[in-house]
Amino acid sequence: MRLHGRVVRQGAPVEGAYVQLIGPSGEFTAEVRTDESGRFLFYPVAGHWMLRGFLPGGSRVEREIELGTGQTLDVDLGDTPAA
């Protein structure tokens, strides 16, 4: 299983953001830093997860996801996209 995605701010990728993977009971599981394209990647087990992103400049974003057995999920984590 793969959980990957992109951190965005106003629709643009954010390099250097930290993304945490938080488990169903609120426990910290893992943290990665986004690359120059704003991309991140985790290999969690199936279940309910919270993605928490810390963007340069102090912004924080969160998104809850459900990952099924054998599923690969691609998500955007960020604020309101550019209009």
Residue 48 pLDDT: 96
| Tens-binned pLDDT, residue by residue, of the chain (83 aa) | 899 999 999 989 999 999 999 998 999 999 999 999 999 999 999 999 999 999 999 999 999 999 999 999 999 999 754 44
How long is the chain?
83
Question: With a threshold of 0.85, does the pTM exceed it?
Answer: yes
Instruction: Give the list of residues 6+ apart from residue 68 with CB closer than 8 angstroms, or none.
Output: 46
Q: Which CATH class is domain 2-78?
A: mainly beta
Residue 82 pLDDT: 44
Determine how many CB atoms are found less than 10 A away from the CB of residue 75.
Answer: 15
